A and B are shown apart, each in its own frame.
Chain A
Amino acid sequence: MHVTVKLFASFRAGRFDVETADYPDGTTVSDVADRLKLPQNELGIMMINNRHVKLDRMLADGDTVALFPLLGGG
């Protein structure tokens, strides 16, 4: 299935800003992080299609996953 992954802040270094790629059925957010060598303890904010999700959330074809480290400001 096709999944678009968007990375932000320090996650972009040595990777990409946005990439659409093929992922096997049953892929979870956690699997995406592993494939991109993103340490799970650094994952702060995870969204699929603009909604917050947790690591074990399963992806569907056409999903957009956004991964951020823990961030703040205001």
Chain B
Amino acid sequence: MDKIARIDMGAAGGPKVTVGDLGAYAGLGGRAMTSIVISTEVHPLAHALGAENKLVIAPGMLSGTTGSMTGRLSVGCKSPLTGTIKESNAGGQAAQVLARLGYAAVILEGKPEGDDLYKIYISKDGIQVIVDNSLKLLNNYPVIEKLRGEYGDKVAYMSIGSAGERKLLAASIACTDPELRPTRHCGRGGVGAVMGAKRVKAIILDDAGMKMRPPKDPDKYRDANRAFVEGLRKHPVTGQGLPAYGTNVLTNVLNEAGGYPALNFKSGQFEGVAKICGEAQAELEIKRGGSATHGCHRGCVIQCSGIYNDKDGKYVSKQPEYETVWSHGGHCGIDDLDVIARLDYMDDNIGVDTIEMGVTIGVAMDAGLAAFGDAEAAIRLVEEVGNGTPLGRVLGCGAEITGKVFGVERVPVVKGQALSAYDPRAVQGMGVTYATGTMGADHTSGYAVATNILKIGGDIDPLKTEGQVELSRNLQIATAALDSTGMCLFVAMALMDQPETFQAMFDMLGSFHGTSMTGEDFVALGKKVLSAERDFNTRAGFTKAHDRLPRFFYTEQLAPHNIAFMVKDEELDEVFNW
């Protein structure tokens, strides 16, 4: 990973590729790379869909190595959904392949005139940008099928569906999994719309002839990786819970804790959870010949994913994640896993964020466009998005826009991005992260649920405000660093409880680069990333008034605890005071 490719899609005479060395970006990976490039190079007031914005695609610091869990990809830009900086993270094969090809980043710049559509082929022989108008308005599954006919099965694909081409603000970028299904998405923040604005439909990553990236100290790296894997296998969450049930095991936990936001955040519990919980999902997947244990990329030892089949054993979608089951399920009053899996497939195919899309459907239900629980209507509304009808375009631009268009007061967004499956009133620590995160409401950016609800890495009362600001701060810092390594965030579940596993990860980072990495270095990296992001947002016009939850979380009490969000504004303003 010693080079950066810049592809100027708007160059006179057609797209122009320049490959250069890393310069000031040497040593960065993943979110550190995307956020520092965007913060340094993109005008903060640029239109997110304009030529001034850039789309940075970066494998993590350890991607493309023999290290396990290292295949996460970061995609960054100014977000058209939030107007803030954005890093959206996905699994799939892309990061490993891109890293082995030697690129620390591929940066899409500019914007072409006209409406030709492009695909980009990256191999050991270089980068080709090719017009391919036969892909126009195809969705992700058919795009990949078509490209496989041309480029085969030994490559990784990134693509946008029709939503990205239409520049809908919930549009995602799909990455293929090991079986070449476009199921792993950089979902959040409308990164797919930015790729669509640059008229790039697909990126084909071909690492034929390339080798694993060699560590500086191979013996130490191998030993550290071994200790790291042992630690993951030993911890009950990463060794048992996630492989057996996937993320949806959380449905029952959050519902029991009264923090499962049902019917557009009207209650903290949903009566249909028994039918859509992870226990029921895993049982059904196994019974139908799918799988409850599957890795989104090679080298994942946790394997939290799965395969969801219909009653005849035919593939429907990958195992919908907890947040997806919630957004299309409890949030919309739908308690049918078959419907939820179908919506998951539709979202992946059209190329929209499953969280934003599901939350939007719930907001539309609150507006009276459909009744809560009406599964057929939910499917119809998502079809509108795929068809690009005027209503579909409104819905495909997310919960905030939909709420405005239909006059809904209860719209669960921060900085324009939808909250996910944890009510901030019953999980106060999560509320701090939602409010203050640099990306808009994003549970992954400081997962206070771990300590509030799951009792991992400590024990903080979810219904009280004490300790929540400090918790969110520490988690946001650690997450910014972890998102830069290429490691899947779920390793944190073991790291937070097992210092020796944390150390093993530091040893991997150190021995790979021939340096040493300590806890302080890791914290410094996280702070550097967050500071760059905050700085961009400040210059883009964001103030502390934007670091707040929607008012209804302060004024409406949530059952069963009958509690509002209580963290004071002054406390929220302390999150980044380190």
A binding-site residues for B, Cβ under 8 Å: 6, 8-10, 12, 17, 42, 44-45, 47, 50-52, 66, 68-74
Per-residue contact bits, chain B 209-251, to A (CB 8 Å; 1 contact, 0 not): 0000000000000000000000000011110111011111110
Can you list 5 contacts pairing A with B, beta carbon distance less than 8 Å?
A9-B244, A47-B256, A50-B256, A52-B455, A73-B246
Specify which of A10, A45, A74 is in contact with B443 (CB 8 Å cutoff): A74
**Complex Cα gap A42–B236 (Å):** 8
Residues of B within 8 A of A6 (CB): 256
Q: Please, how many angstroms separate the alpha-carbon atoms of A15 and B454 in the complex?
A: 22
A72 near B241 with CB under 8 A, answer yes
| A47 B241 Cβ-Cβ under 8 A | no
Report if B339 contacts A (CB, 8 A): no
B249 touches A73 (CB 8 A): yes
Query: Residues of B within 8 Å of A, CB-based: how many?
Result: 43
Q: Is B462 an interface residue (CB 8 A)?
A: yes
- Residues of A near B461 (CB, < 8 A) are 52
Binds A, one of B99-107, B444-452, B499-507, B529-537: B444-452
- Mask of B140-161 contacts with A, CB within 8 angstroms, 1/0: 0000000000000000000000
Contacts of B322 in A (CB 8 A): 73-74
Question: 10 more A-B contacts (CB under 8 A) besides A45-B253, A70-B237?
Answer: A9-B244, A10-B240, A45-B453, A50-B256, A50-B561, A70-B235, A71-B236, A73-B248, A73-B304, A74-B250
Given A50-B258, A73-B242, A44 contacting B560 (CB threshold 8 A): no
Q: Are B236 and A8 in contact (CB under 8 A)?
A: no
A74 touching B256, Cβ below 8 Å: no
Q: Does B286 contact A (CB under 8 A)?
A: no
**Are the CB atoms of B241 and A71 closer together than 8 Å?**
yes
Q: Which residues of B contact A47 (CB under 8 A)?
A: 256-257
Main secondary structure of the interface of B (DSSP, over half): helix
When distances are taken between beta carbons in the complex, the residues of chain A under 8 Å from B245 are 9, 71
CB neighbours of A51 from chain B (8 A): 463
In the bound complex, residues from chain B placing their C-beta under 8 Å from that of A73 are 241-242, 246-250, 278, 304, 322, 490
Return chain A residues, CB-CB under 8 Å to B454.
44-45, 70-72
Q: B66 interface residue, CB < 8 Å from A?
A: no
Which partner residue on chain B sits nearest A64 by CB separation? B256
Question: Which residue from A42, A52, A71 sits with its C-beta under 8 Å from B250?
Answer: A71
Provide the bound-state CA to CA distance between A72 and B274, in Å: 18
Known: A45-B253, A74-B247. A69 touches B241 (CB 8 A): yes
**B474 contacts the other chain (CB 8 A):** no
A38 CB to closest chain B CB, in angstroms?
13
A3 to chain B, nearest CB (A): 15
- B255-284: CB near A (< 8 Å → 1, else 0) gives 011100000000000000010001100000
Complex CA distance for A9 and B243, rounded to whole angstroms: 12
Chain A: minimal CB distance from B483 (Å): 14
Task: Say yes or no for B127: interface residue by CB 8 A criterion.
Answer: no
Q: In the bound complex, what is the Cα–Cα distance between A9 and B258 (angstroms)? A: 18
> Are A52's CB and B257's CB within 8 A?
yes
- Docked complex Cα distance between A73 and B490 (Å): 7
- A9-B245, A74-B447 are contacts. A50–B257 as well, Cβ < 8 Å? yes
Closest A residue, CB atoms, query B426: A50
Whether the Cβ atoms of B253 and A8 lie closer than 8 Å is yes
Complex interface: chain A residues within 8 A of B561 (CB): 50
Q: B252 at interface (Cβ–Cβ under 8 A)? A: yes
Inter-chain CA distance A12–B238, complex, in Å, is 19
* Complex CA–CA separation, A36 to B447 (angstroms): 32
Chain A positions within 8 Å of B523 at CB level: none
Which residues on B sit within 8 Å (CB–CB) of A45? 253, 453-455
Neighbouring B residues of A66 by C-beta, 8 Å: 256
Cα–Cα distance between A6 and B269 once the two chains are bound (Å): 15
- B279 contacts across to A, CB distance below 8 A: 8-9, 12
B51 within 8 A of A: no
Q: Tell me the complex Cα distance, A50–B260, Å.
A: 12
B452-480 interface with A by 8 A CB criterion: 453-456, 459, 461-463
B493 at the interface (CB under 8 A from A): yes
Interface hub of B322, B453, B455 (most chain A Cβ within 10 A)? B455
A6 to B258, CA, bound (A): 15
Q: Taking A50-B258, A74-B247, A74-B449 as contacts, is the C-beta distance between A69 and B240 under 8 angstroms?
A: yes
* Complexed CA–CA distance, A50 and B257 (Å): 5
State the CA gap A72–B447 with chains docked (Å): 11
CB distance from B421 to the nearest CB of A (A): 9
